[in-house]
Amino acid sequence: MGKKILLEHAEVPGIQGYEVYREKGGYRSVEKALKTMSAEQVVEEVKTSGVRGRGGAGFPAGMKWSFLAKPEGVPRYLVCNADESEPGTFKDRYLMSKIPHLLIEGMITASYALGANTSYIYIRGEYYYLIGILEKAIEEAYANGWLGKNILGTDFSHDLYVHPGAGAYICGEETALLESLEGKRGNPRMKPPFPAVKGLYDCPTVVNNVETIAAVVPIINDGGEAYANIGIGRSTGTKLISASGHIKKPGVYEVEMGLPVEEFIYSDEYCGGILNDKKLKAVVAGGSSVPILPADLILTTANGEPRLMSYESLSDGGFQTGTMLGSGGFIVMDETTNIAKNLYNFTRFYHHESCGQCSPCREGTAWMEKILHKVLAGKGSMEDIDLLWDIQTKIDGNTICPLGEAASWPVASAIRHFRQDFEELVKNPAGLDETRYYYHCNNINPEVA
């Protein structure tokens, strides 16, 4: 069994409630931090742990915290990113519904470290039912003295609120999230200034993913060094992987960084192998935005080393032969999948979710979707494949936020590794159905038209 430090108690009956959570050692990190450590020491401990942001970008959390500006008399904010909209990712939902107090505890300890007296959990609107669960946990935390004024008799006071989104992938991007939290459209901001200097209400702000904040709890309980000893190299700790697609056992798995990908896919402890014992064709390892890899390259690197679940190993070979750990949304496709069809699905998604601020993204995602639709309708040509390639190169790097890259990389990697799937559709148009794949049009506008 792999080491579990976040989900260790997730299956304990009653762990959703305060009593059982506390019995299992809950809220110790708050006690330890507030009573025996300075805020700076907590930040140092998180730095030592080497934990990297679990929202997708993998930026070291301790370093991000140490960048937080601290002007006199200006409030600072911690905002938890629970927007979780990257296709293939459902770990935050799992964590929040199974063990909500872990997130609340992490928020309090992290807020103490950052000197934030108010913090928000921004949760996607479709998770409305989870707000009830989180608010109940927050209420229990207030009732037991972990939130509110002068926590544990110290001079640290902290209020915590949950804020719902309303259906927009882009609001997972941290500056769009802050706009949305201010009651606006989710248009990403230009950076700099970074949120650490000018974030929520123009105040210094840290935005962290649910899983990153939850990891603060074991880091403070057991020390940063103990955390850094788990995992491999600069990929410290454990990672929650959301496994879906053509596998026998879809679900959320906590894996120690460094687990071989092959073991993750085929062992009964994790995915249990490919559905109906078919052959593996491709994997999107870190949510829809990361490059798709064919079976041979996801199992071993171009140098023939076994591929491991870690930031470094998954990105080994760059975009030519590698990918990224991303959000840990692990989508598996069997031999029957046509990758061009799957790409149409992703492209439709990015077109729908582009906020529309930057022309390359707004127009480019629309063109890519249209071209792929044409190919899927049996009306494509070989030039269309080259045109697709060309368009993605013109979005990549030319937008305010990384949604542009997120839309480009799947296209580039699908053509790079699976050109034959596109050609097959172009050469054999018989049986392709024009109407079947054109569902999105009603969703361009939020009204149901």
Partner 1 sequence: MSTEEIKFSEESLALVKKTIAKYPEGRQKSALLPILHLAQAEFDGWLSVPVMDYVASLLDIQPIEVYEVASFYSMFNLKPVGKCILEVCHTSSCWLRGADDIVDHISNKLNIKVGETTADGMFTLKTVECLGSCGSAPMLMCGSQYHEHLTFEKVDGLIDNLRNENKRTTYLDEVKVENY
The residues binding ligand FMN (CB under 6 A) are 53-57, 59, 61, 81, 83-86, 170, 172-174, 207-209, 212, 401-403, 406
Q: Should residue 281 be labelled a site residue for partner 1 when binding is judged by CB under 8 A?
A: no
Give the strand order in the sheet containing 205-209: 159-164, 118-123, 77-82, 205-209
- DSSP H stretches of helix in 160-241: 174-181, 210-222, 224-228
Which listed option, partner 1, ligand FMN, none, makes contact with residue 56 (CB within 5 to 8 Å by class)? ligand FMN
Binding mask 201-240 for partner 1 (x = CB under 8 A): x---------------------------------------
Residues 389-418 that bind partner 1 (CB under 8 A): none
Considering the complex, state which of residue 183 and residue 192 has its C-beta at the smaller distance from partner 1. 183
What's the Cα-to-Cα distance from 68 to each of 36, 48, 61, 379, 434, rounded to whole Å?
22, 17, 11, 53, 52
d(CA 412, CA 176): 26
Residue 389 Cβ vs partner 1, minimum distance, rounded to whole Å: 21
Whether the Cβ atoms of residue 18 and residue 141 lie closer than 8 Å to each other: yes
Helix (H) or strand (E) holding 390: helix 382-395
Residue 174 tokens, joined: 């941290």
Helix/strand/coil (H, E, C) string of 146-163? CCECCHHHCCCCEEEEEE
Stretch that binds partner 1, among 129-137, 142-150, 223-231, 308-316 (CB under 8 A): 129-137
Structure tokens at 176: 């769009």
Stretch that binds partner 1, among 296-304, 308-316, 337-345, 390-398 (CB under 8 A): 337-345
> Of 189-197, 261-269, 350-358, 371-379, which part binds partner 1 (CB under 8 A)?
350-358
Distances in Å between the Cα of 18 and the Cα atoms of 24, 67, 218, 247 are 10, 34, 18, 35
User: How are beta strands 118-123 and 159-164 bridged, if at all?
Assistant: parallel
64 or 417: whose CB is closer to partner 1? 417
For residue 439, the minimal CB distance to partner 1 (Å) is 5
Q: At closest approach, how far in Å is the CB of 60 from ligand FMN?
A: 8
> Could you say which of partner 1, ligand FMN, none residue 57 binds, taking C-beta under 5 to 8 angstroms by partner kind?
ligand FMN
What is the enclosing helix (H) or strand (E) of 258? none
Least Å distance, CB 441 to partner 1, is 8
Locus of tokens 């992938």: 169
Interhelix angle 100-114/210-222, rounded to 10 degrees, is 80
Using the contact rule CB under 8 A, the part of the chain among 61-69, 217-225, 241-249, 256-264 near partner 1 is 241-249
Among 244, 289, 301, 392, binds partner 1 (CB under 8 A): 244
Q: Which does 242 bind (CB under 5 to 8 A by kind): ligand FMN, partner 1, none?
A: partner 1
Query: CA torsion 171→173→176→178, rounded to 10°?
Result: 90
- Give whichever of 126 and 423 is closer to partner 1, judged by the CB atom: 126
- Shortest CB 141 distance to ligand FMN, Å: 21
Farthest CA pair distance, the chain: 74
Q: Residues in the site for partner 1, rule: CB under 8 A?
A: 75, 84-90, 92-94, 97-98, 118, 124-129, 132-133, 161, 163-169, 180-186, 201, 242-246, 250-252, 284, 288, 329, 331, 333, 337, 342, 345-346, 349, 352-353, 355, 436, 439-443, 445-449
